[in-house]
Amino acid sequence: MIIDAHGLRKSFTARGRRGAPQTVEAVRGVDLAVETGEIFGVLGPNGAGKTTTIRMLATLIAPDAGTATVAGFDLLKEPGRVRGRLGYVSQAGGVEDTTTPRAQITMAARIHGLADAARATAEVLDRFELSEVADRPARTLSGGQKRRVAIALGLVHNPPLIFLDEPTTGLDPQNRANLWDSVRRLREGGTSVLLSTHYLDEADALCDRLAIVDHGVIVAQGTPAELKREVSGDVVTLRVSDPGQAAETLKPYARETRVDDEVLRVYVDDGERALPAMLRDLEEHGLGLTSISLDRSTLDDVFLARTGRSLRDTGAAA
């Protein structure tokens, strides 16, 4: 296990303009177990405590409670050793606009005490297809290139473990897909990855295992397939004149039904088979149907089942 964390907690005291200081419990008891060589995702809406958890594991903030072993060393007793074996790429990226990628990466390599900093830099630049832009000031780079520089900065010393905090936020679909490929190649090279994201498709497509967090606690943990299986295989989404009545009618088919405004979601084990019968029943009860769709259940359905809210409604995009 490359990360083994137990009961991590962190609260912040925010000083208001007036009145008593407010305490925000950002992380309220998180256990994480990340296996060596896997891509582990932390999925949750903004403010769920993802970044705080990663910052604690990266030695940047001290947890109020809890213990953790990261990359073979005790987080609290030997933070210096942990730092040496860690790559950390924050949401902001930490790329200096005025300096060239090569200068920044070479400096990072020297700080890590690499014998041949220039060679390690050239290698990592090559690996992320940055050689051509390596000697331009970073401010002239595109968003996707800058993001790759940020990751190269965290990887130049070949750490066994890398943290990526919201690595694809703000990237266009093309760059996101490229970045996903880069992350998969990291895994092939034996690097363990801990990444946070609020994108459902990213967590689903990229992560071997993931933890879904909300309000500072883990609400579900497992492989994407396991998590989705827990909810149910398929989800039938209907727009009907009377969703409440329709939910009652369709109950025999469903493992679970959920009404949000005019939308009725019916979770069924075998959607293809259930659908014709469901349509027949609706017609017999004279319930007017505006639209109907059948989908495999997504991680959003898992989030919905565990928290009663949709991740889409919390402001995070799908």
Partner 1 sequence: MIRHTLLFLGYELRNTFRNPIWPLFGIVQPVVYLLLFGPLVAGSSGRSTADALTAFAPGMLVITALFGAIGVGYGMIYELRGGVLERIAVSPAWRPSIVLGRTLRDAVVLVAQSVAVVLIALAMGMRASLPGLVLTVLLVAVTGLFASGVGYGLALSLRDENGMAQTMQFFALPVMLLSGALLPMTLAPGWMQKVALFNPMYHPVVAGRALFAGHLGDPSVPLAFGIMLALSALTVTWSVRSLRAIAG
Q: Say if CB 94 and CB 154 are below 8 A apart.
A: no
Q: Tokens 């004279």, residue? A: 286
Q: Which is nearer to partner 1, 108 or 210 (CB)?
A: 108
Cα separation of the two ends of the chain: 31
Query: Considering the rule CB under 8 A, would residue 103 count as an interface residue with partner 1?
Result: yes
Query: Considering the rule CB under 8 A, would residue 112 count as an interface residue with partner 1?
Result: yes
Q: Which is nearer to partner 1, 62 or 259 (CB)?
A: 62
**From 99-107, 178-186, 187-195, 293-301, span contacting partner 1 (CB under 8 A):** 99-107
Query: Considering the rule CB under 8 A, would residue 114 count as an interface residue with partner 1?
Result: no
User: Judged by CB under 8 A, which of 47, 72, 79, 233 binds partner 1?
Assistant: 79
User: Judged by CB under 8 A, which of 32, 43, 48, 58 binds partner 1?
Assistant: 58
Give 298's contacts (C-beta < 8 A, 6+ positions apart).
Answer: 200, 204, 228, 235
Q: Which is nearer to partner 1, 97 or 172 (CB)?
A: 97
User: Judged by CB under 8 A, which of 73, 88, 253, 267 binds partner 1?
Assistant: 88
195 — alpha (psi -120 to 50), left (phi > 0) or beta? beta
Tell the smallest beta-carbon distance from residue 12 to partner 1 (Å). 13
d(CA 247, CA 256): 9
Query: Considering the rule CB under 8 A, would residue 84 count as an interface residue with partner 1?
Result: yes
Q: Say if CB 216 and CB 49 are below 8 A apart.
A: yes
Tell the smallest beta-carbon distance from residue 75 to partner 1 (Å). 10
AA letter at 305: A
Q: Say if CB 195 and CB 228 are below 8 A apart.
A: no
Query: Considering the rule CB under 8 A, would residue 153 count as an interface residue with partner 1?
Result: yes
d(CA 310, CA 215): 14
- Binding residues for partner 1, rule: CB under 8 A, are 58-62, 79-80, 83-84, 86, 88-99, 103, 107-108, 110-113, 153-154
